[in-house]
Structure 1
Amino acid sequence: MPVAAALPISLRAGERHRLKRMAYGHKTEYRMRQRAQVVLHAARGRANARIARERGLHLDTVRTWRGRFAGQRLPALCDRKRSGRPASFTPLQSAQVKALACQLPAESGTPPSRWSAPEPAREVVARAIAETVSASTVRRWLAQDAIKPWQYQSWIFITDPAFRPRAQRVLDLYARTFDGTGLGSDEYVISADEKTSVQARCRCHPTLAPGHARAMRVNHTYGRGGALAYLAAYDVHRARVFGRCEPRTGIVPFMNLVTQVMSIEPYASAKRVFWIVDNGSSHRGKKAAARLTAAFPNAVLVHTPVHASWLNQVEIFFSVVQRKVVAPNDFTDLNEVADRLRAFEDRYNATAQPFQWRFTTSDLDGLLARLDQHTAGRHEESSAAPAR
């Protein structure tokens, strides 16, 4: 039986350029590269058998792609659409599963506090949405809309009626402004707070230093050596920390910290020293402000809004202490804890730079606007929801 002659291939300039990019491009898929090379060789007048031998392909493969290109040009080099297996689930079932995942489990009467992929799959069968569905299918459906019901975020509503002016006063101090007037060179801003319950955990076995392809190893079992409170005052613009360790927090330990700072220069002779604190019991309310001013007339107590200690820059320093000193906790006794904290203060003060605080009053207004919009939306949803 005579063999059909190979179809002649002639390329236009644009087709040749695209085929060369496909055949020799570093990011081209391997299958597309092979097909483009078959067409380019065919355009040079080579026989199918020679192309198959040189490219290491089957003769039928070369004949197929040469024939498809001759009939439909470049679009023919792509794979044809395959019918595949019929869909097992309808779009409505997928939407019902997503809607179920966007509800709290308690609304469905199920005991878990959060959905994971297996729970909605069981609930789908229980509600007769589908006869059966796997957890992997549910997970794939939820991933289409980035729905992750197994994760959660916590938030807190603003309850302080004076949140805006209090927060602005703190942010203005960070920008060296108070009541619309710039701070002088003899005025300072101190951010202060307490880090409670710094424990001394004596490990029952020595901590092993890291080695090749091995992290530092800390024994899980430990003996309790007590706990202390670490109080720190951070000069916002000079990046200097003053700390002390106390058996517990309270008014007296906090005033000891204030005395420690205000008794040295340049704070003792400063015109004003602003102390930014949160609303902890050690320095809460007008009594604390009066107590501070009575002891040091040039000291001004400034409170952050309620539940807004994240505006206090000393919390950033405490996070550094937690990462670099406290964790992993392995101390023989409280004296070693206190010595380590004092040594870290000296090391930190030697090289510290002021924190690059970027949250401004305009950012504050944007945050409050988003919270108002979110709260209004929640109220509209609750009012529009039918009674159960």
Structure 2
Amino acid sequence: MPVATARPIALRAAERERLKKMAYGHKTEYRLRTRAQVVLHAARGRSNARIARETGLHLDTVRCWPGRFAEHGLGGLGDRERSGRPPSFTALQTAQVKALACQLPAESGTPLSRWSAPEPAREVVGRAIAGAISASTVRRWLTQDALKPWQYQSWIFITDPDFRARAERVLDLYARTWQGKALGADEYVISADEKTSVQARCRCHPTLAPGQARAMRVNHTYGRGGALAYLAAYDVHRAKVSGRTEPRTGIDPFMNLVAQIMTQEPYASAKRVFWVVDNGSSHRGKKAADRLTSAFPNAVMVHTPVHASWLNQVEIYFSVVQRKVVSPNDFTDLAQVRDRLRSFEDRYNATAQPFQWKFTTSDLDDLLARLDRHTADHPEESSAHLAA
């Protein structure tokens, strides 16, 4: 018997444009692309048989989509809701598994420091919450609520009673102000610190360069060639770094770095040079500040708050050194380490731009306000901290 023609379709200009994008878009799902093509063919007056032949679809499929589009428009090209397979677990069981993952394992007597997906699955069966459950099901449920009990983050309470005042001084210097006044053209801000224990590890077999579908390969075993300390002073606003290597850290090595910087221009003749440092043993407290000023009267030491080395911009430079110079650590001896660090300084200074430091005093106030709210909501943590 003759095959019926496709249901006649009259398209508006906007609908035709949308259908063309669906039918020929590279990112359109295959099922939606074929359905849009069927509707476009039908709108051109072609028969069902011809559409089936040109699209490679079954005749019954071709008959379906023009009618669905005529009744429901573009929304009719999507899949209808299906009941699907009945759920294997109740909402209560799902909630109990998520609640279990939000507990520390030690609270339930489990000898673990943190959960992984298979462990809560075993615990669920052991507690008779469910007869059987897979680790992938547990992982999927936790992902839905963005729970990852196998991960952890470390944190620390603010212990410096002058945290805000110290942090504000550092942030003001980054914004080129000091005690409410703008810094002059002959005033500079230096961020300084030490990167300890930069090792020379001589790999027992040569490192292989990357190749086709292969990353660089570094032999796991190595011989120890010693370690040194890398001290660096970073000019915050000029993006210039000067460093030196020493056998170890300490007061004398740090003062050697200071002398190296302060005897060079433009710092030797500057009105003031502010040295932003953390509370490391080589430059801690008032004695260190007095020692610096005694050696160089135009130098001013400014300490970051305790446990706030993240306010020291030279730490960003050290992270660059770690990623681009030190790792994966394949050096024949310490001399090669020194040469590599010295050469990288020259390369860095040739192209570097100041860091886009965006943390301001307003952000500092917001941070402290959040911490205050957290302390107010969890007074037991604050009491435990004070007792410690």
Equivalent residue number for residue 141 of structure 1: 141
* Matched ranges for 1:88-107 at <5 A: 88-107=88-107
2:179 — aligned with what? 179
**Residue 360 of structure 1 pairs with residue 360 of structure 2:** yes
User: How do residues 202-351 of structure 1 correspond to structure 2 at under 5 angstroms?
Assistant: 202-351=202-351
Q: Comparing 213-222 with 254-263, which one deviates more in the overlay?
A: 213-222
In structure 2, how many angstroms separate the alpha carbons of the residues matched to 1:314 and 1:140?
Answer: 41
Would you say the 8 A contact 2:172–2:178 is kept in 1?
yes
- For residues 135 and 211 of structure 2, the distance between their equivalents in structure 1, rounded to whole angstroms, comes to 41
Where in structure 2 are the equivalents of 1:16-165 lying within 5 Å?
18=15, 21-22=18-19, 25=22, 26-27=24-25, 29-32=29-32, 34-35=34-35, 49=49, 52-53=52-53, 55-62=55-62, 74=73, 78-165=78-165
Matched residue SS, 1:229: strand
Q: Which amino acid aligns with 2:101?
A: A
Residues 73 and 357 of structure 1, relative CA distance in 2, 3 Å threshold = closer
Counterpart CA distance in 2 for 1:116 and 1:280 is 37
Partners of 2:341 and 2:21 lie apart in 1 by 61
Alignment check: 8 A CA contact 1:7 1:67 kept: no
Q: What is the CA–CA distance in structure 2 between the aligned matches of 1:212 and 1:32, rounded to whole Å?
A: 37
Paired with 2:50 and 2:347, the residues of 1 have a C-alpha distance of 75
Measure, in 2, the Cα distance between the counterparts of 1:260 and 1:34.
72
State the secondary structure of the residue aligned to 2:378. helix
Name the stretch that deviates more: 373-382 or 289-298.
373-382
Decide which moves more: 3-12 or 258-267.
3-12
Cα separation, 1, equivalents of 2:8 and 2:380: 67
Sequence identity percentage: 79
Question: What one-letter code is carried by the residue in structure 2 that aligns with 1:246?
Answer: E
Deviation at 1:10, TM superposition (A): 4.9
Q: Deviations over 1:319-371 (max 9, x none)?
A: 12212221221222222222222222223223332222221111111222222
Q: For residues 12 and 351 of structure 1, what CA distance do their matches in structure 2 show? A: 62
Q: Is the deviation greater in 324-333 or in 125-134?
A: 324-333
CA distance in 2 between partners of 1:172 and 1:20 (Å):
56
1:51-81 deviation line (CA, Å, top 9, x unaligned):
54555444444455677778x5657665444
Contact 1:7–1:66 (CA under 8 A) maintained in structure 2: no
Moved more, 211-220 or 246-255: 211-220
1:252-300, Cα deviation, whole Å (9 max, x unpaired): 1111111222222222222221111100000111111111112222211
Q: CA deviation at 1:163?
A: 0.6
Indicate the residue corresponding to 2:386 in structure 1: none
- Contact 2:277–2:283 (CA under 8 A) maintained in structure 1: yes
- Please identify the structure whose Cα radius of gyration is greater: 1
Aligned residue for 2:193? 193
The RMSD of aligned alpha carbons is 3.0
Q: Return the alpha-carbon distance in structure 1 between the equivalents of residues 262 and 37 of structure 2.
A: 81
Structure 1 spans left out of the alignment, 5+ residues: 384-388
SS in 2 for 1:245: strand
Deviations 1:235-258 (A, max 9, x none): 222222221111111111111111
Deviates further, 120-129 or 5-14: 5-14
* Structure-2 separation of matches of 1:141 and 1:361: 40
User: Amino acid of the residue matched to residue 325 of structure 1?
Assistant: V
**SS, match of residue 114 in structure 1:** coil
Distance 1:121 1:46 in 2: 56
Q: Which residue identity lines up with residue 275 of structure 2 in the other structure? A: W
Seen in structure 2, the aligned counterparts of structure 1 residues 58 and 160 have a Cα distance that, compared at 3 Å, is: same
Letter of the aligned partner of 2:307 in structure 1?
H
Letter in structure 2 aligned against 1:333: D
TM-score norm. by structure 2 comes to 0.86
The 2-side partners of 1:238 and 1:76 are apart by: 61
Match of 2:269, SS state, is coil
Q: Deviations over 1:132-186 (max 9, x none)?
A: 1111111111111111111111111111111101001011111111111111222
Asked if the contact 1:22–1:32 (Cα under 8 Å) also holds between the matched residues in 2, the reply is: no
CA contact (8 A) 2:166 2:304 kept: yes
Q: Distance in 1 between matches of 2:21 and 2:182?
A: 65
User: What is the DSSP-based 3-state SS (H/G/I as helix, E as strand, rest coil) of the residue aligned with 1:261?
Assistant: helix
Q: Which amino acid aligns with 2:344?
A: F
> For 1:306 and 1:59, how far apart are their aligned partners in 2?
75
- How far apart are the structure 2 equivalents of 1:257 and 1:44? 81
Other-structure match for 1:386: none
Q: Once structures 1 and 2 are overlaid, which stretch shifts more, 355-364 or 168-177?
A: 355-364
Structure 1 pair 65–247 and aligned structure 2 pair: CA distance change class (3 A) = closer
Secondary structure at the residue paired with 1:217?
coil
